[in-house]
Homo-oligomer: A and B are copies of this chain.
Amino acid sequence: MIKETTTLKQIAESLNVSISTVSRALNDHVDISDVTKNRVIEEAKRLQYVPNILAKGFRNHKTNIIGVIVPSVTHYFTSTILKGILLESEKTRYTTIISETNNNPDKEKEVLQTMLQFGVEGILMSLSKQTKEVSPMLQALKKRPLVLFDKVSSKIPCTQIVINEVSAAFDAVEHLVNMGKRRIAIIKEEKDSYNSEKRFEGYLEALKKNNLEIDNSLILSTDDSSIKEGKRLTRQLICLKEKPDAIFCITDSLAIGVIKTLKKVAIKIPSEIAVVGFSNSSHSTIIEPNITTVNQPGNRIGKLALQQLVKEIESEEEYLTSKFIEINTNLIIRESTFTG
Contact = CB atoms under 8 A, between A and B. Distances in A.
A240 interface: no
A118 B95 contact: yes
Given A73-B73, A83-B73, A315 B55 contact: no
Nearest to A139: B48
A76 B73 contact: no
A290 to B, nearest CB: 11
Contacts of A100: 83, 86-87
Contacts of A65: 97
A1 B316 contact: yes
A3 interface: yes
Interface residues of A, number: 54
A84 B250 CA distance: 29
Among the interface residues A63, A82, A100, A118, which one has the most CB atoms of the partner chain B within 10 A? A118
B74 A83 contact: yes
Interface of A: 1-3, 5, 50-55, 57-58, 63, 65, 72-74, 76, 79-80, 82-83, 86-87, 95-100, 114, 116-119, 142-145, 256, 260, 263, 282-283, 286-288, 312-313, 315-319
